[in-house]
Chains A and B, each alone.
Chain A
């Protein structure tokens, strides 16, 4: 494949990133999806929209998030210099708030009066419930029954924020089914409802607009690393569920040739066991949830349930722009197992005083793999996209600790 002039030009007018992306949606939703695109283009052209978003990002979410040199982990691995982009310090505890604020402002511009969202780990659900409380709109969050069980603290948090949490009992009862159910709600309530999708997936223009709202991560990180080190990083590392925190970090660096980009998928029990959530490593292109991308599926095109210790990574697909970056070779996609992530979770807590979410613990697990063999002047920026408060009960159980 020939190298494009820019890796940041996508998607095309049809919402494609190479052969991925698109608008594979039911007719009932299509007029709305087109209206969303029109509204988004108008918002992009309106400086007032950006100003308002920046206001809330700064004064409500607490941006910019710090870029922190993780000295003790760096010393521990004895190789590359490790920086964390501290998006776990955002209000609500993850990067999800960046996107929710953006989509909420868009929903208000469109005159929508009701919010729906899907959630896996509950972080996107909490962020959606939060912005709904902030702007006084009713919010319904769909969450798989399995995830409701393993993310109890976030379920209660959403309820405190005034959201309706609907447990989804269909299919595999995890994130993909929550997404199906949110789509079913949307198709039923097209007139008044805005669907805040939580990752860089779904029909065009969602992958694009979620990426744009998350790119604040990479934009800040670029300035911050230039200030700290006087140069760009050598390697970026981020975990991938649908891929929004990763795309937010990666996108501003895509045209910086020297920057090596690594996305870390969840390998669950191990790729070879078949019980994992690594769509690029273990999947094939297919069409689900409005776009073409790499999917975990059987020979007959039936979707295979994903498996991961992390509810936020437990998704059988990946955002279409990542699928394309993989195809053209601009980014590398690797994986980390449950056990690797659990070890990284504990190491980070002890050495840095930062309890990471299980999702970025996967990114850290890969950093742990590569950092020791890299030279001391090699700079890694890893997205610490969420804090682990939500995970402590689940982790305690896995470690056999009774609370």
Chain B
């Protein structure tokens, strides 16, 4: 794949378009393979039309140290249903056949990638039309592992900045970040807290002094109102746990998908997208 169509440019193009529309991005998390491959593929395929601007595709891991119970259990459901990293990449490739514009960012932990092999993984991710990577347990101190090879391969490496990332450390965190910056709104695990728009606003302002990259904010955004508040102060609102909760809430007693599973997630997406749009019309 040529650099022109490489991952960084698809993310850049998306944020550029949103800027002309005067609104922030809705970044939607979907756990690949949850509750089964077919259903999660349907969810993913429906996300752009429902209003998701960027898709974060979760790579399941047995030991997700930074995640709360909802995303932990979603990953275990996916693993139980047979998800693998190869199948996740194949699902992304299938999505890309029908949608050449919506950026897809893989999110997860390093070990499954390590086991796949970094060069093989980067090649497969590129072929699948993946645009960026978020790998929770790879801080800048470990950039040589995956971040630098990924950048070399034309993929974005989206880094997390957190409330504990102080002024001194921020430049190091931003140095090899590309695509966008993901600001984690509170110190903690996913699904545990609630976002505070005022605190986030000052954190976003602080980060803006160090970078021209778009800044998306995640952790603790569940409702359209919260999405609106964050979309007012940041370039993107990331929603994760609310989606895995929506999947869980739609399952039958055996944990299998039902006729309402796909709709539950897409309805939530539409509501959140309306929240983000409301911020634009106010702003």
Contact = CB atoms under 8 A, between A and B. Distances in A.
Nearest to B109: A287
B258 interface: no
Contact of A287 (B86, B137, B173): B137
Contacts of A189: 187
Interface string B173-197: 1000000000010011100100000
Interface residues of B, number: 44
B89 to A, nearest CB: 12
Nearest to B65: A183
B63 A25 contact: no
B115 A300 contact: yes
Nearest to B165: A27
Interface stretch (A28-36, A233-241, A341-349, A393-401): A28-36
Contact of A27 (B64, B72, B113, B161): B161
A289 B86 CA distance: 24
B113 to A, nearest CB: 7
B114 interface: yes
Given A14-B141, A22-B142, A303-B63, A288 B111 contact: yes
A5 B61 CA distance: 39
A187 interface: yes
A180 B141 contact: no
A25 B139 contact: yes
Contacts of A111: none
Contacts of A14: 141
B164 A31 contact: yes
A300 B69 contact: no
Interface in A289-324: 289-290, 292, 295, 297, 299-303
B139 to A, nearest CB: 5
Contacts of B163: 28
A176 interface: yes
B164 A288 contact: no
A136 to B, nearest CB: 25
A144 to B, nearest CB: 13
A292 B161 CA distance: 23
A302 B79 contact: yes
Nearest to B166: A31
Interface in B88-140: 109-116, 136-139
A297 B115 contact: yes
B65 A180 contact: yes
A24 B136 CA distance: 9
Nearest to B87: A300
A288 B63 contact: yes
A24 B188 contact: no
A1 interface: no
B171 to A, nearest CB: 14
Interface of B: 60-66, 68-69, 72, 76, 79, 84-86, 109-116, 136-139, 141-142, 159-166, 169, 173, 184, 187-189, 192
